[in-house]
């Protein structure tokens, strides 16, 4: 009997507190809907899904390649850097003069030369070009080739240490997952709003409808009101936890990394295996299904750059 009572009492006790996990749950709930704290089951109802997704996101953050040194010397030695930037001037423009970098330097104590880490995301595309190629002892002109190009370089998760940047990246991945939940909720709200508007329009038409029209309009109104009740039920706060579960318990279906290996020569031309340098890229694929090639970068703080210089640099690149 004592054993049974102890088991019963232990089953009634709340789960062991995990301050770090509960802080993560609070952050997730605040992102989705702060009122969820009052909907019942908080925070226990959300711990499993948040813990699972957070572990997944943290594992993804460890898989992001790098950090890769960004400087002129590295550019001459590292084929990866030469592949993603056309020249040292390009990475200076994309990184040092980026708004993200300058905003970070404004809000943090940095001296010129301080060590900084960040994630860069960029679009990789392949385009057909006409080039020159040596085949045997003969130079052939107008040879169709495939060039690998990178554009839209974007810096995020800047910090003073690799560990901090990877932790920031973990939450960037979590935010990407949460955005899919908030998108669904927003779609449900828009659907309910459209049904509410439709029902009001039908009611307005009923007031001026003839006897022959009223039967069909009433049937349409009944159908619309039934759909509106269903849409309203789907927006009950108690359903939000289910929507979180659908994404956070299966995060791999909504966010993943894929490795792509290409052989690229010094001119950025795609080659067959055995020719050119083998370079491995990691692509992030999230809710929009588009690919972002991502990597961690390491550089020295460039210091704050006057706005006039940034504008002049941007104008120069626009006119190249």
Let me know: does 130 contact 156? Beta carbons within 8 Å: no
Residue in the structure block whose two tokens are 């104008």: 315
Helix (H) or strand (E) holding 80, with range, is helix 79-84
pLDDT mean over 35-49: 93
Residue in the structure block whose two tokens are 């940047």: 165
Write out the two tokens for 15: 């789960």
b/e burial code for range 196-220 (CB count within 10 A of at least 16 → b): eebbeebeeeeeeeeeeeeeeeeee
Write out the two tokens for 10: 């232990």
Band the pLDDT of 16: cuts 50, 70, 90.
low
Reported as half-sphere exposure (CB side, CA atoms, 13 A), residue 111 has a value of: 0
Query: Taking all residues of the chain, what is their mean pLDDT, rounded to a whole number?
Result: 85
Q: Report the C-alpha gap between 49 and 177 in whole angstroms.
A: 12
pLDDT mean over 275-297: 90
**What pLDDT digit, counting tens, does each position of 205-224 carry?**
988 888 888 889 899 999 99
- Residue 255: name the closest of 156, 171, 141, 157 by CA: 171
DSSP assignments along 5-46, one per residue: HHHHHHHHSPPPP-HHHHHHHHHHHHHH-GGGGGSSSTTHHH
Let me know: does 145 contact 128? Beta carbons within 8 Å: yes
**What pLDDT digit, counting tens, does each position of 93-126 carry?**
777 667 888 888 887 777 666 788 999 999 999 9
What is each CA distance from 241 to 16, 27, 119, 248, 279, in whole angstroms? Answer: 21, 14, 31, 10, 42
Alpha carbon 142 to chain centroid, angstroms: 40
**What pLDDT digit, counting tens, does each position of 226-274 carry?**
999 999 999 999 999 999 999 999 999 999 999 999 999 888 888 888 8
Band the pLDDT of 27: cuts 50, 70, 90.
very high
Domain ranges of the chain: 63-171+252-318
Let me know: does 270 contact 144? Beta carbons within 8 Å: no
């Amino acid at each position: 009997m004592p054993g049974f009572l102890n088991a019963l009492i232990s089953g009634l006790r709340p789960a062991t507190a995990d301050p770090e996990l509960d802080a993560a749950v609070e952050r997730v709930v605040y992102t989705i809907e702060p009122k969820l704290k009052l909907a019942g089951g908080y925070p226990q109802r959300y711990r499993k899904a948040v813990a699972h997704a957070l572990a997944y996101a943290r594992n993804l953050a460890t898989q992001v390649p790098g950090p890769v040194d960004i400087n002129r010397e590295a550019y001459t030695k590292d084929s990866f850097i030469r592949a993603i930037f056309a020249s040292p001037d390009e990475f200076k423009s994309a990184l040092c003069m980026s708004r993200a970098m300058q905003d970070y330097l404004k809000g943090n104590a940095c001296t010129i030369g301080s060590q900084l880490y960040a994630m860069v995301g960029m679009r990789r595309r392949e385009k057909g070009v006409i080039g020159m190629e040596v085949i045997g002892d003969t130079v052939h002109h107008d040879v169709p080739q495939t060039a690998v190009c990178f554009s839209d370089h974007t810096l995020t998760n800047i910090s003073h240490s690799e560990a901090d940047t990877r932790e920031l990246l973990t939450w960037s991945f979590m935010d990407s997952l949460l955005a899919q939940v908030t998108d669904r909720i927003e779609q449900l709200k828009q659907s309910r709003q459209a049904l509410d508007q439709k029902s009001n329009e039908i009611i307005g038409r009923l007031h001026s409808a003839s006897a022959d029209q009223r039967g069909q309009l009433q049937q349409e109104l009944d159908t619309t009101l039934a759909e509106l009740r269903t849409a309203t039920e789907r927006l009950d706060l108690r359903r939000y936890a289910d929507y979180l579960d659908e994404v956070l318990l299966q995060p791999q279906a909504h966010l993943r990394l894929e490795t792509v290996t290409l052989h690229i020569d010094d001119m950025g031309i795609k080659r067959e295996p055995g020719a050119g340098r083998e370079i491995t890229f990691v692509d992030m694929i999230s809710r929009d299904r588009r690919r972002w090639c991502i990597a961690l970068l390491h550089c020295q703080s460039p210091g704050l750059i006057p706005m006039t210089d940034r504008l002049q640099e941007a104008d120069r690149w626009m006119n190249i």
